[in-house]
């Protein structure tokens, strides 16, 4: 998910702030690791990637439609052979470029070429070295990643950490924030482990319960203050009371003062291109019912407009339902709203018939 909905002040000093309409791209599920918490089940067995010419064509179209940032994920994006072309092209259009990486391949010549056109890198860190190696399924993975971080530092390339919080790793959050600051990271993005992909089988004992979610929330508030503008901390968990006061966190708009057109446009601030080239709104994993199109289709003209016309009201219903579910269920205070939108999209078989 993107950073929408983080209930804290944006700190200019970290250089992370800004208003972006982002294309989140998963160009391949190929990865050098086999992480236990991977929501996309990426692994070394995948060999294919998106056709870059098609992808560039779509990026060009989306840029004309107001998208001003790309964020590359995967798989490990550095295992996508045409990554350099993609980031160079996006930069040439004046777009902001970001990449989520495990940091282990940053020492290659290819990575050096890619980094020239990447504005910010988010390095995945699962916690203290032993736990990180366990989660990554590879002894020494943490040390490899450290070397990657050093490369970023030497290049003066802004970077942050992205951490998948589990029922075990939350106890290391103070260590993690200290570590992030000591390494020069500007961002710490905390994302609750999702019950999807490989995580649904490998991490079933490490999912977050309500009690742990409260603890994470309290600790995050403490850490945000501790590091103030030195480290931007984003938590993909929000308190129900906060969402109640700020419906736009989940609905992407305030229902009291937005027209339907405005609502729909705002809910399209983040789109996803998955490893098959299919384009979706909001988040990876959302129901195929909400497919916007494909990078492989002959023409993109009218793609977003058609989607909004044909499926916009269902998307609106999905977001409203998720919001209502959150604010009316008083038994759960801390919610991972992004994951809930995806779950709701997959479970609501009646969505397209409302």
Tell me which residues touch other proteins (CB under 8 A).
Answer: 7, 171, 174, 210-211, 214-215, 217-219, 221-222, 224-225, 239, 241-242, 245, 333-334
298 or 328, CB closer to other proteins? 328
Q: Kindly report the three-state secondary structure assignment for every residue of 293-333.
A: EECCCCCCCCHHHHHHHHHHHHHHHHHHHHHHHHHHCCCCC
Q: In whole angstroms, how close is the CB of 190 to other proteins at the nearest point?
A: 15
Question: How many CB atoms lie under 10 A from the CB of residue 154?
Answer: 8
Q: In whole angstroms, how close is the CB of 224 to other proteins at the nearest point?
A: 8
Q: In whole angstroms, how close is the CB of 192 to other proteins at the nearest point?
A: 15
130 or 210, CB closer to other proteins? 210
219 or 346, CB closer to other proteins? 219
Q: Give the span between the Cα atoms of 81 and 165, in whole angstroms.
A: 30
Residue pair 72/98 in contact by the 8 Å Cβ criterion? yes
Q: Give the span between the Cα atoms of 151 and 319, in whole angstroms.
A: 41
128 or 171, CB closer to other proteins? 171
Helices (H), the chain: 52-64, 83-92, 109-115, 129-136, 141-154, 173-183, 199-202, 210-227, 240-245, 248-251, 260-266, 303-328, 337-347
DSSP state of 30: B
Task: Give the residues across from 22 on adjacent strands.
Answer: 69, 270
144 or 213, CB closer to other proteins? 213
Q: Sign of torsion, CA 48 54 55 56?
A: positive
Which among 106, 159, 168 has a CA at the least distance from the CA of 134?
168
Q: In whole angstroms, how close is the CB of 218 to other proteins at the nearest point?
A: 5
In the three-class reduction of DSSP (H, G, I as helix; E, B as strand; rest coil), residue 26 is classed as coil
Q: In whole angstroms, how close is the CB of 9 to other proteins at the nearest point?
A: 8
Residue pair 223/211 in contact by the 8 Å Cβ criterion? no
Specify the residue for token string 């009690």.
Answer: 211
Q: In whole angstroms, how close is the CB of 146 to other proteins at the nearest point?
A: 23
Q: Give the span between the Cα atoms of 39 and 194, in whole angstroms.
A: 6
Q: In whole angstroms, how close is the CB of 210 to other proteins at the nearest point?
A: 6
Q: In whole angstroms, how close is the CB of 226 to other proteins at the nearest point?
A: 8
Q: In whole angstroms, how close is the CB of 27 to other proteins at the nearest point?
A: 39
Q: Give the span between the Cα atoms of 133 and 155, in whole angstroms.
A: 26
76 or 236, CB closer to other proteins? 236
215 or 289, CB closer to other proteins? 215
Task: Give the residues across from 25 on adjacent strands.
Answer: 72, 273
7 or 51, CB closer to other proteins? 7
240 or 251, CB closer to other proteins? 240
Task: Give the residues across from 138 on adjacent strands.
Answer: none
């Amino acid at each position: 998910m993107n950073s929408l909905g983080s209930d804290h002040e944006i700190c200019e000093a970290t250089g992370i702030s800004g208003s972006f309409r982002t294309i989140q791209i998963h160009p391949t599920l190929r990865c050098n690791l086999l992480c236990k918490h991977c929501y996309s089940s990426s692994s070394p067995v995948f060999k294919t990637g998106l056709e870059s010419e098609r992808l560039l064509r779509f990026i060009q179209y989306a840029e004309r439609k107001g998208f001003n940032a790309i964020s590359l994920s995967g798989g490990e994006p550095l295992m996508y052979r045409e990554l350099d072309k993609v980031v160079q092209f996006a930069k040439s259009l004046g777009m902001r470029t970001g990449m989520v990486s495990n940091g282990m391949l940053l020492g290659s010549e290819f990575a050096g070429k890619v980094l020239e056109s990447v504005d910010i890198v988010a390095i995945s860190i699962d916690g203290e070295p032993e736990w990180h190696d366990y989660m990554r399924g590879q002894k020494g993975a943490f040390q490899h990643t450290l070397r990657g971080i050093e490369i970023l530092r030497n290049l003066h390339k802004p970077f942050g950490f992205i951490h998948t919080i589990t029922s075990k790793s939350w106890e290391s959050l103070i260590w993690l924030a200290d570590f992030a600051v000591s390494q020069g990271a500007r961002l710490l993005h905390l994302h609750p482990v999702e019950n999807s992909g490989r995580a649904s089988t490998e991490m079933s004992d490490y999912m977050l319960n309500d009690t742990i979610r409260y603890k994470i929330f309290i600790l995050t508030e403490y850490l945000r203050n501790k590091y103030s503008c030195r480290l931007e901390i984003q938590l993909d968990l929000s308190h129900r009371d906060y969402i109640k006061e700020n419906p736009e966190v989940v609905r992407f708009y305030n229902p009291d003062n937005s027209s339907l057109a405005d609502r729909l446009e705002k809910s399209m601030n983040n789109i996803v291109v998955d490893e098959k080239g299919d384009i979706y709104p909001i988040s990876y994993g959302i129901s195929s019912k909400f497919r916007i199109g494909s990078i492989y289709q002959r023409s993109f003209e009218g793609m977003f407009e058609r989607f909004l016309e044909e499926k916009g009201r269902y998307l609106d219903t999905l977001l409203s339902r998720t919001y209502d579910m959150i604010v009316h269920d008083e038994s759960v205070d801390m919610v991972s709203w992004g994951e809930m939108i995806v779950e709701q999209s997959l479970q609501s078989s009646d969505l397209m018939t409302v």
